[in-house]
Structure 1
């Protein structure tokens, strides 16, 4: 019987792993402690070429043994999302317990194409999804899958909508097997929806825009006109996509009115709740998603307001059987309720074949930390965004774009003496100054043809004092 080479045996040695693991946890804990104490920059800014040089592909032939040194360099040069001055993109400061779960998941490596490859993770996913569906108020019999991000999630939901509403077998016959299709979407919808319809072969008119109001929410009264315009263009509308927490401003569309419209016209009702579906967990802000329980499908990212590492996206269906139809080999109207496909073989219902143990992180945190932690975090974050908006309005030298619906706040600095024509350029300079210095990390967006600074208050450790410091830093940077 042959033995593994000594180098391979050493690479799998449990005691070596134990020593490295202890050292790694110490390094990560020190990093977490320093970040939460606001030490160092949020982002140690360096141009791309510099980091390419810092991490070259000059890999040695023999073991180097310098994993701790490499981790130290990675920690030093990476973006520090646990720093309370991180108020940038919709990416969470992950719960440490979730990171430890990720550690276990990576070692176990139970890919989830079929049940026998991931028996525990499959069961956890099934029950986490049932819990999430219940939080949203979806009926008994709802279910779905976890997938890799909101873009994949929205595509999965729209594929199911196509099978349910197209009236022809687009999966086998292709996009030209019937009339060209379209979905009605608010003008502010995330670009991944347009990308999804183009991937499905519908072209630029695969989305039909619906106008929004002054707060960037879909105007329900504009839906009839959008439907008529789509039909005049020779398109068959099959769905309406509404936002629960849009990307630019965090706007929540009037979901009940959209549900009424979809019911009237026999359209699929999809809610892109990647960011804002988590509001359903908060007793104070649950009203923001009223009507989501009537959706045919919902996308909900746990790696945003639920403090999970990326990526964990739930694609929830009012009728769990619809989750099979996104990637079904036959149209739904051919099955006649006789389909015997198993929920436990997850690859039947996702883009992924091999899929990591996504549910382990979320299940572990819900099981160990309890659901109230998540409800409290969302409530506190939404509360804080409203206090920040009030501070901006009272400042005299900042302008608020719109009152926030959730934890996204858009504003601009308007100091005296700066002409209106120069304010856009000023916001760009201010952001660049703060980001490259590492003092804060925030982003920008364009609303109404003007440039605005955009903050996502997503780190639970960010305080009102941190936000006041942000305003002072912007004032100094003029």
Structure 2
């Protein structure tokens, strides 16, 4: 019988064509990785204005298949023009240089396309997710009964945790009754916390008052003595506080809030205790720096980004619940065409769509499970310890330099500082930092970011690339000095 499948469609699924293309791509990616890790003449970011890149990739998509070398040519353009996070002089955002093995797992995930909302659509990934989450919970010191989910980033993770807190502590069924089925709610949050928490309470319909700020100290850590006043402020505003949030590695400076006093406060007032450990929960892996998260084991919920401290590609975020049953509280609804109910004994292993924002979810746990299994856990422990050590050495070097000013001693691998050359008066320092960052980024020599603190504008580095060396940071200081010279 003659096949009715058009040749171009049949060819798009041809295993041998895929084999040849994949082999060529692996060689291409390996060559790219080698060049990026070496640094050298490769820019960290081949800077181009948005309009230029839009023009470079403007196209009329062909109706018929392109030439056999079209894919390799396109990938060459993508690799050349993209931001090179594997360059050792990438010290910018909290986005890591992922271990290459994880990228291969992403290819497997994409080819299998086993969406995980329903167990039978992702049986292997569901089992892997349970194991990955159990390992992460154990590292945090959470009880064996802890459960959780993997989701798409810290913003989704924090929203998931706060939804569970609402269902547990509101005193009414806000999921089914709506945001106005009871008294207006609020969450106590440090002023240094990530903006996604303010976004989450607005998504839940609580408005601006859904977040009650708590003052921080000179090191940008929450002040435990300010918690009672924040709770009183919420009460005076007619809000019922249901939760208190602490940061383990805040975004701007990497500050770790004192978790134990916050846990004491939450327990005293019957509040849900949530820790946003998207960046810093990974400190639990390091014997040397584990004390940074002392008290995290008392949290009702914790968010931890694997695409930061665990060197994974984005996005893989764990939302962990001390009481495993609470993992079902965030999204309490029925969808009988999907979820068939496996009984209470099977709940930890059941359809993950019952507990996540996503319905279709890629095989997130595959890359974490595979890398832990193949590379071992110690490589990730060593990466955390080394990056925190390096941040302290860099901070000492900045402090010793008369023309640099450290914003605050680093708690983790985030270092904020500014250049203060003698020829620039203090009232010109803010503008200088902005100009210096622009000069370094557009030149392609380094990639770093900036932040505004109470003292003004500071340059901000995240030492998240495991192969960034101290010599790279010394070169960064020299490049800043050079760019600042009149």
TM-score by length of 1: 0.97
Aligned to 2:58: 56
Is structure 2 residue 193 aligned with structure 1 residue 192? no
The DSSP-based 3-state class of the residue aligned with 2:318 is strand
Aligned to 1:78: 82
Alpha-carbon shift at residue 340 of structure 1 (Å):
7.8
Aligned to 2:310: 306
Is structure 2 residue 107 aligned with structure 1 residue 106? no
- Displacement over 6 Å in runs of 4+: 337-340
Q: Does structure 1 retain, via aligned residues, the 8 Å contact 2:188–2:231?
A: yes
Alpha-carbon shift at residue 342 of structure 1 (Å):
6.2
Once residues 102 and 388 of structure 2 are traced to their aligned partners in structure 1, the CA distance between those partners, rounded to angstroms, is: 22
Is structure 2 residue 1 aligned with structure 1 residue 22? no
Once residues 76 and 175 of structure 2 are traced to their aligned partners in structure 1, the CA distance between those partners, rounded to angstroms, is: 49
Once residues 418 and 314 of structure 1 are traced to their aligned partners in structure 2, the CA distance between those partners, rounded to angstroms, is: 45
Once residues 348 and 39 of structure 2 are traced to their aligned partners in structure 1, the CA distance between those partners, rounded to angstroms, is: 49
Once residues 372 and 282 of structure 1 are traced to their aligned partners in structure 2, the CA distance between those partners, rounded to angstroms, is: 9
Alpha-carbon shift at residue 329 of structure 1 (Å):
3.0
Deviations 1:413-460 (A, max 9, x none): 000121000000000000000000000000000001500000000000
Deviations 1:95-139 (A, max 9, x none): 000011111111111000111100100000011001100000001
The DSSP-based 3-state class of the residue aligned with 1:477 is helix
Q: Which runs of 5+ in 2 are unaligned?
A: 335-342
Is structure 2 residue 323 aligned with structure 1 residue 322? no
Deviations 1:162-215 (A, max 9, x none): 000000111111111000000000000100000000000000010000000000
Q: Which runs of 5+ in 1 are unaligned?
A: 331-336
Alpha-carbon shift at residue 339 of structure 1 (Å):
10
Aligned to 1:452: 458
Deviations 1:283-342 (A, max 9, x none): 000000000000000000000111000000000000111111100039xxxxxx989856
Aligned to 2:176: 172
The total of aligned residue pairs comes to 472
- 338-347 or 310-319: bigger deviation: 338-347
The counterpart of 2:449, out of the listed 435, 443, 447, is: 443
Is structure 2 residue 8 aligned with structure 1 residue 7? yes
Is structure 2 residue 334 aligned with structure 1 residue 346? no
Aligned to 1:47: 49
Alpha-carbon shift at residue 58 of structure 1 (Å):
1.0
Q: Does structure 1 retain, via aligned residues, the 8 Å contact 2:299–2:322?
A: yes
The DSSP-based 3-state class of the residue aligned with 2:180 is helix
The DSSP-based 3-state class of the residue aligned with 1:260 is helix
The counterpart of 2:97, out of the listed 80, 93, 97, is: 93
Aligned to 1:290: 294
Distance 1:26 1:340, change over 3 A: closer
Alpha-carbon shift at residue 356 of structure 1 (Å):
0.2
Alpha-carbon shift at residue 265 of structure 1 (Å):
0.3
- Aligned runs of 1:422-437 on 2, under 5 Å? 422-437=428-443
Is structure 2 residue 399 aligned with structure 1 residue 419? no
Aligned to 1:383: 389
Backbone CA RMSD of aligned residues: 1.2
- Aligned runs of 1:400-411 on 2, under 5 Å? 400-411=406-417
Q: Does structure 1 retain, via aligned residues, the 8 Å contact 2:127–2:349?
A: no
The DSSP-based 3-state class of the residue aligned with 1:355 is coil
